[in-house]
Structure 1
């Protein structure tokens, strides 16, 4: 039950805050931090420290909230009907594969500590946070680059810009007026 409470609270709180501030990348990374701490507690605390290990198990469940944020981030940052569907399928498939592979990392030969599996939990949580921050920096860079292109076009007074580009089903890479959400 406490694991479910952690998942529900993390999901509701992050959803409300992101709905008001739209900082998905930072919240995805922030929601990985309890998982990193939980993975570290599970991995490196001695087995006798039952309370600390149990807290680690509970903290790892904050990662569940990142899934809704990832789906909404993709919906905001991927343009083009087919590309958006493909991105959503890739996320759904990756999540499903992770849920299949995750339990398989807990091998009987590693019992009773399951150290490799616990370190895998720690590493994947850390990788999720790093990836969200790197993607944020990429989006900042790309938005600035597109702003610069737009300023240069305005300075050159190019009148060949497309009108109603939002209805042309361009992908986010093709539509230079598209801006990524951070």
Structure 2
């Protein structure tokens, strides 16, 4: 039950705050931190330190909230009907594949410590945080680049100032008026 409480609370709190501040990337990375700490506790504490290992198990569950944030971030940052559906399928499929591979990493030959699997938990949580921050920097860079292009083409009729561009079903790469959500 405490693991479920951690999942529910992290999801509810991050959902409310992200709804007000719209800083999905920082919250995704931030929610990976308890998971990283939990993965480290599980990986490097001795089995005799039961309280620390139990806390590690609970902390790893904070990562659950990131899936919801990833879906909302994806919906905000992918334009074009087909591209948005394809991106959602990739995220959903990746989550499903991860849910299949995750338990398989706990091999009987690694019992009772399951060190490789626990380090995998730690590594994947850390990688998720790095990817979220890298995407944030990329999106910020791309927004500034688009602002600069728009400013340079402000007085030019052929500078991409097309009316009703929102109805053209352009992807985020094709529509230079599109801005990414950080």
Same fold (TM over 0.5): yes
Unaligned runs of 5+ in 1: none
Q: Which residue of 2 aligns with 1:148?
A: 148
Q: Is 2:156 the counterpart of 1:158?
A: yes
1:70-118: per-residue Cα shift (whole Å, max 9, x none)? 0000000000000000000000000000000000000000000000000
CA separation in 1, counterparts of 2:68 and 2:88? Answer: 11
Matched residue of 1:41: which SS? Answer: helix
1:16-60: per-residue Cα shift (whole Å, max 9, x none)? 000000000000000000000000000000110000001000100
CA separation in 2, counterparts of 1:54 and 1:10? Answer: 18
Question: Over aligned residues, Cα RMSD in angstroms?
Answer: 0.4
Q: Which residue of 1 aligns with 2:133?
A: 133
Q: Is 2:36 the counterpart of 1:36?
A: yes
Q: Which residue of 2 aligns with 1:119?
A: 119
Q: Is 2:170 the counterpart of 1:170?
A: yes
Unaligned runs of 5+ in 2: none
1:2-27: per-residue Cα shift (whole Å, max 9, x none)? 00000000000000000000000000
CA separation in 2, counterparts of 1:31 and 1:90? Answer: 22
CA separation in 2, counterparts of 1:38 and 1:3? Answer: 12
Shift of 1:143: 0.1
Q: Which residue of 2 aligns with 1:46?
A: 46
CA separation in 1, counterparts of 2:108 and 2:94? Answer: 25
Matched residue of 2:5: which SS? Answer: helix
CA separation in 2, counterparts of 1:99 and 1:34? Answer: 20
Matched residue of 1:70: which SS? Answer: helix
Paired residues, what number?
180
Q: Which residue of 1 aligns with 2:64?
A: 64
CA separation in 1, counterparts of 2:99 and 2:130? Answer: 20
Matched residue of 1:51: which SS? Answer: helix
* Moved beyond 6 Å, runs of 4+: none
CA separation in 1, counterparts of 2:62 and 2:94? Answer: 18
